[in-house]
Amino acid sequence: MRPVPGPPRGLRLRAGLRLVRRGDDEVQVGTDPRWATRLTGLTPHEVRALVALPPDANLSDLAHDERIDPARLASLVDGLDAADLLDRGTSRAPAAPGAADARALGLVRADGRGTEVVATRGRRTVGVHGLDRTGLGVAVLLATAGVGSLVLEDDGAVRSCDVGSGYGWAQVGTLRASAAARVVADAVPTARIGSPVTGLDPDVVVLCVAGAVDSGRAAALVSAGVPHLCVVAGDVELSVGPLVVPGRGPCTRCLDLHRAQVDPAWPTVAAALAQPHRVPPATAAAACTAAAACAAALVLAHLDAIGTGDRPADDAPAYQVGLDGLARERRWAAHPACGCAALSADQAAGFLRGRPRPRFIGTTSPETKT
């Protein structure tokens, strides 16, 4: 029996890459133009052996095949390594919330640290205020993407127009916060779900409102140094963002000041729109779903940046989502008359020091039942 040189154990293709036969002597690795690579000059048996590899197999397993020359295998592995298609980890993360995100991030990140990035999400808390169809969509997307803890807040009841995002007809008339906690728990049983009274300390807060943002609440979040994202439902369309990071970039007041320059009556109109209204906006299902996806993506990008020690983007985009469900990007600048830019990141972080650590309530707690 010959010795088995071959590649070292634990050497695999990056998770999510497919091996596809292109011909009798050629295999393609991956499908995305950014990294798709052709392996040419293969023998028919090498083609069959590569395509037959299980998704999580070690490349070293091919060294046990008597019909594959060790030198050719070493050359093949060197080529894959040069193309940055190898994952040198010794183990893979088990199937869990965010596993698909981890595979995708492992492909697009130069360091391949998809699993580590998603693991940091599990230590984060996001508050979602406003659990209509869009708000519940944001909560479910964040939980399934691996965010470990959610604070769900809404004093209202589920309406018929909320059905379809996770709520069912049987939940119409029940409290949104309780019904939403059940929906999230059904999707991700390991998610920790809290309410504002439990003293949770969110890393980011998402405000899903109709008409306009309550300027007092937004100002309080800036003063507390809490990053936050507003999702505002208009008559038909929804606006998402930008994600406000106190001390960097525009805040909600900046947006109001820009609008007031165009419409001097905007402060009066905004104050009226921020008041509760018995008729919900006529936002279509596609628009709500797209807005929830945009909001979740912006929040995750921020969490991933701080989780890896990267500086969050100063120019986080905003989106206008129309009836067709298409998101159109918008950019806002900090308004010179707003004092938010004078608050440094260190000052914003200082507001959080000494605040109580979060405690969680389980999804089976009476506080999460109707």
pLDDT tens for residues 220-260? 888 888 899 999 998 889 999 899 988 787 888 888 888 88
Predicted confidence (pLDDT) at residue 200 exceeds the cutoff of 70: no
What pairing do the DSSP bridges indicate for beta strands 19-23 and 12-13?
unpaired
Lowest mean pLDDT among 73-77, 94-98, 190-194: 94-98
Query: What local confidence, expressed as pLDDT, does residue 313 receive?
Result: 62
Which uninterrupted H or E stretch holds 107?
helix 99-108
Q: pLDDT tens for residues 32-49?
A: 888 888 988 888 888 888
Residues 6+ apart with CB under 8 A from 85: 13, 14, 17, 29, 30, 35, 37
Maximum Cα–Cα distance for the chain, whole Å? 86
Predicted local confidence at residue 188, as pLDDT: 93
pLDDT value at residue 2? 43
For residues 116 and 187, which has the higher predicted lDDT (pLDDT)? 187
% the chain with pLDDT above 70: 84
Domain locations in the chain as residue ranges: 12-87, 117-368
Sign of CA dihedral 94, 122, 156, 238: negative
Check pLDDT > 80 for residue 343.
no
Please state whether the peptide bond connecting residue 242 to the residue before it is cis, i.e. omega within 30 degrees of 0: yes
Fold match, 12-87 / 117-368: no
CATH T-level topology, domain 12-87: Outer Surface Protein A; domain 3 (3.90.930)
16-30, 290-304, 350-364: range with lowest mean pLDDT: 350-364
The model's confidence at residue 314, banded by pLDDT at 50, 70 and 90, is low
User: What mean pLDDT is predicted for residues 324-332?
Assistant: 87
Q: At 341, is the pLDDT very low, low, confident or very high (cuts 50, 70, 90)? A: low
Fold assignment, 117-368? Rossmann fold (3.40.50)
DSSP labels for 254-306? HHHHHHHHH-TTHHHHHHHHTS--SSPP---HHHHHHHHHHHHHHHHHHHHHH
CA angle 164, 321, 261 (to 5 degrees): 135
Looking at residue 16, its pLDDT comes to: 80
pLDDT score recorded for residue 212: 86
Q: Place 6 in a pLDDT band, splitting at 50, 70 and 90.
A: low
Average of per-residue pLDDT values in the chain:
81
The string of pLDDT tens digits covering residues 80-123 is 888 888 876 544 555 577 888 888 888 888 777 788 888 889 99
Angle among Cα 201, 352, 129 to the nearest 5 degrees reads 35
Which pLDDT belongs to residue 315?
A: 65
- 55-59, 95-99, 124-128, 248-252, range with greatest mean pLDDT: 124-128
Model pLDDT, residue 32: 87
- How many residues are present in the chain? 370
For residues 367 and 190, the model is more confident at 190
Amino acid identity at 52: A
Comparing 290 with 16, which gets the higher pLDDT? Answer: 290
